[in-house]
Amino acid sequence: MQPVKVLFCIDSLVRGGTELQLIGLIQRLDRDKYTPYLLTIRDSDPSLVPDDCHHLNWMVPSLVSASGVSSLIKLVSLLKTEKFGVVQTYFQDSTMFGGIAARLANVPVRIASFRDMGFWHTALQGFILKRIYTLMTGFICNADIIKTHFSTLYGINADKITVIRNGVDTEKLTYVEHSGATNNIGIVGNMTRHVKRFDLFIKAASLVFERYPDIQWHIIGDGHLIDELKAQAVSEGIAERCVFTGRIDNVVAYLEKIQVGVICSDSEGLSNAILEYMFKGVSAVVTDVGGSPELVTDGETGLLVPPDDAQGLADALITLIEDNTLRATLAKNARQAVERDYGWNQCLVNHDSFYQSQLSVAKKGTVS
């Protein structure tokens, strides 16, 4: 049998959690069973495009425009001509663009991906997406709470939503045991959205600084908010203790110098950064939002803190600074927990099973 052509649609490729998960999936798909195509509709980093993948680098700045309609017609024609079996979409614009085109082209399997709690939705966007989702044959999300959220919000039959956990390259994530004092605390992410709350991390750092002035604070990542955050560090009086790394290609290696890792977002899906902390022996302190409680069990595999609470975050960090035994225990428990449930092998098996199930249902529907 010929491999099934799968078109993955995403707004753009950047070094974000969802994008890196998609890249990893495309890289690892069995080429005897699937031929992957990647459609991006915004500026993307060409170095991130996976090898052995057909990349359609289209610029569709506005879906509601003459060029947007023209691109939609072009995509419908491509999907029909090349006989795609699966279209899978990520993010709002690509889901609208790819979902409509896939339905018009009668692609048998049309999948939308949910990767966060939809914090970015406006009422109008929600209204439009609710109608787009009726065109899809199935849905994939990466956390149970996200499944419940979208099923409730959009009235989607929960049986049509499958939870597939993130893939992690476990062989590259060697465990590092930190037996000494806590000297380095870090946060990883893209500084492109306020929801990630790097500002809260800096505020909490300033509160901890009053008692523990020698700790180094590592802000790992890049984005247009970085200058604003640097200015905040200056105003909080901790600029000399903050390391703004900028973009780092090998974040995993950098984590080896960190004893405690923070994710203090107001909204999260299932954070790759938390997974990397847990694999690398970095004790995790994270806000109790989204899928984070599915990764971190408070007091067992890390510490959960309320969102938008700088003092609560600072108190949790001080707890680990003052109790090395607890910090080490949390790290060891975390590694054992994630080893059971996360890894690319299981992620690939789950995607393959979902695709084949969807294709089988579509075939039966065609026959009947």
For residue 291, the domain's CATH number is 3.40.50.2000
pLDDT tens, residue by residue, 34-80: 999 999 999 998 899 998 999 999 999 899 899 999 999 999 999 99
In degrees and rounded to multiples of 5, residue 7 shows phi and psi of -105, 120
Task: Based on the fold, state whether residues 283 and 355 are members of the same structural domain.
Answer: no
Task: Based on the fold, state whether residues 268 and 362 are members of the same structural domain.
Answer: no
The predicted pLDDT at position 34 comes to: 98
Instruction: State the Cα–Cα distance between residues 213 and 300, nearest whole angstrom.
Output: 28
Task: Based on the fold, state whether residues 126 and 200 are members of the same structural domain.
Answer: no
Report the candidate in 49, 42, 88, 43 with the shortest Cα–Cα distance to residue 68. 42
Local confidence band at 367 (pLDDT 50, 70, 90 cut-offs) = very low
* Average pLDDT value for the chain: 94
Report the candidate in 63, 139, 120, 134 with the shortest Cα–Cα distance to residue 97. 63
In degrees and rounded to multiples of 5, residue 51 shows phi and psi of -70, 155
The predicted pLDDT at position 366 comes to: 67
pLDDT tens, residue by residue, 223-263: 999 999 999 999 999 999 999 999 998 999 999 999 999 99
Task: Based on the fold, state whether residues 174 and 312 are members of the same structural domain.
Answer: yes
Task: Based on the fold, state whether residues 198 and 255 are members of the same structural domain.
Answer: yes
Range of the domain at 335: 170-341
Task: Based on the fold, state whether residues 276 and 127 are members of the same structural domain.
Answer: no
Task: Based on the fold, state whether residues 227 and 309 are members of the same structural domain.
Answer: yes
The predicted pLDDT at position 120 comes to: 66
The predicted pLDDT at position 300 comes to: 97
pLDDT tens, residue by residue, 79-127: 999 999 999 999 999 999 999 999 999 999 999 999 887 766 778 888 8
Instruction: State the Cα–Cα distance between residues 90 and 331, nearest whole angstrom.
Output: 32
Instruction: State the Cα–Cα distance between residues 258 and 279, nearest whole angstrom.
Output: 13
Task: Based on the fold, state whether residues 190 and 303 are members of the same structural domain.
Answer: yes
Instruction: State the Cα–Cα distance between residues 180 and 105, nearest whole angstrom.
Output: 60
Task: Based on the fold, state whether residues 193 and 327 are members of the same structural domain.
Answer: yes
**Number of domain units in the chain:** 2
Task: Based on the fold, state whether residues 199 and 157 are members of the same structural domain.
Answer: no
- Other C-beta atoms closer than 10 Å to the C-beta of 365 total 10
Task: Based on the fold, state whether residues 104 and 191 are members of the same structural domain.
Answer: no
Task: Based on the fold, state whether residues 83 and 132 are members of the same structural domain.
Answer: yes
